[in-house]
């Protein structure tokens, strides 16, 4: 069973304050547990709380932290938590980091450039953890064996073998996000999968490449930043800004036959009531749908609760933290 927990669900910039207490104000970060493996999707400010949790686990178990971090792209809202990710300052932590290059920079160059003086006192290479960087693109597949290190394979040039107990992460690039696109990940483990598709804008008729990539997945996490009215407003339309509406997300979910849909990357201008209103409208069109909030925990497939805090997509909502 894949276990998914949302630590940051906001796009663009953090939004603390009383109007966002229920949904949460941290930027993008999703934790995925596949058996012993800790996968982290994006490192927005949500990763700070996740880091504290991992440090608590490390103290309780005595086991050094090993995490695989997958960056969709290197915009601020997907990287800005990493300089405050406590496990990265611990010398016995291992971070396998995957993500795209951009502007002739590899992943390490792009992440390093966000941590240079005078904007931050500690440089990336000065963080004590062992950081193993992999610049990846959609020609590659990452395979994580049960008791081994992740291996990056070429999806086209080698037969990519992965057993049911290997975590397999497939990669798709969306071009519908300024200015250099973003990566979309499909995580598969023991016959179940989820697709993380944030910072992408819908196409007329649906993004056929994404529909194929997400086909049959159990859980789709999809960008749903704007209302249709905002997207196509006569003045200051959000068209072309690289984000989707809930209707676009639902279009992909239906066409790809996914089990459950999570609306993600909420607009910083949307308060709790606005996000809930968008969620209700979306559920009227696609009942198996929920708006992500901080603390939301899902299991894939939906099954017996692995822990009291967990819930299913259709289950009762517990209140998120602020
Ligand atoms: Zn974003
Ligand atoms: Zn972005």
- Cβ-contact 129, 95 below 8 angstroms: yes
Q: What is the homologous superfamily of the domain 2-300 according to CATH?
A: Ribonuclease Z/Hydroxyacylglutathione hydrolase-like (3.60.15.10)
Query: Comparing C-alpha atoms, which of 13, 15, 20 is closest to residue 80?
Result: 13
pLDDT of residue 303: 57
58-112 residue pLDDT tens: 999 999 999 999 999 999 999 999 999 999 999 999 999 999 998 789 999 999 9
3-state DSSP call for residue 20? helix
In 87-221, which ranges are continuous DSSP H helix? 107-113, 208-214
The full length of the chain comes to: 322
pLDDT of residue 57: 98
For 264-276, letters b (16+ CB in 10 Å) and e give bbbbbebbbebbb
**From ligand 1's centre to the CA of 253, what distance in Å?**
20
pLDDT of residue 104: 86
**From ligand 1's centre to the CA of 82, what distance in Å?**
15
What is the distance between the terminal CA atoms of the chain, rounded to a whole angstrom?
Answer: 28
- Residues (pLDDT < 50) of the chain are 305-322
**From ligand 2's centre to the CA of 242, what distance in Å?**
7
**From ligand 2's centre to the CA of 60, what distance in Å?**
36
105-148 residue pLDDT tens: 999 999 999 999 899 999 999 999 999 999 999 999 999 999 88
Domain residue extents for the chain: 2-300
pLDDT of residue 213: 98
**Cα gap 279→271, rounded to integer Å:** 12
Residue corresponding to tokens 């822990």: 307
């Amino acid at each position: 069973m894949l276990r998914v927990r949302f630590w940051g669900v906001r796009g663009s910039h953090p939004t603390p304050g009383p109007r966002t207490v229920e949904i949460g104000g941290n930027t993008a970060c999703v934790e995925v547990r596949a058996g012993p493996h800790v996968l982290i999707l994006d490192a927005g400010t949500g990763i700070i709380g996740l880091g504290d949790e991992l440090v608590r686990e490390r103290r309780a178990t005595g086991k050094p932290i090993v995490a695989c971090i997958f960056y969709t792209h290197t915009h601020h809202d997907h990287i800005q938590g990493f300089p405050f990710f406590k496990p990265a300052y611990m010398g016995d932590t291992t971070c396998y980091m995957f993500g795209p290059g951009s502007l002739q920079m590899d992943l390490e160059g792009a992440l390093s450039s966000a941590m240079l003086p005078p904007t931050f006192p500690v440089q990336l290479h000065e963080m004590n953890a062992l950081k193993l960087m992999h610049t990846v693109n959609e020609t590659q597949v990452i395979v994580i064996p049960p008791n081994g290190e992740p291996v990056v394979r070429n999806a086209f040039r080698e037969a990519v073998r992965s057993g049911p107990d290997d975590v397999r992460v497939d990669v798709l690039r969306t071009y519908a996000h300024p200015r250099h696109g973003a990566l979309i990940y499909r995580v598969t483990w023991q016959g179940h999968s989820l697709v993380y598709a944030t910072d992408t804008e819908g196409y007329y008729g649906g993004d056929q490449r994404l529909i194929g990539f997400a086909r049959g997945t159990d859980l789709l996490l999809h960008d749903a930043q704007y209302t249709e009215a905002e997207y196509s407003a006569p003045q200051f339309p959000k068209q072309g800004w690289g984000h989707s509406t809930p209707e676009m997300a639902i279009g992909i979910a239906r066409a790809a036959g996914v089990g459950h849909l999570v609306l993600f990357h909420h607009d910083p201008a949307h308060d709790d009531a606005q996000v809930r209103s968008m969620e209700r409208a979306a559920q009227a069109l696609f009942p198996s749908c929920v708006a992500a909030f901080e603390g939301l925990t899902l299991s894939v497939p939906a099954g017996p609760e692995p822990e009291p805090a967990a819930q299913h997509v259709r289950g009762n909502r517990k209140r998120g933290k602020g």
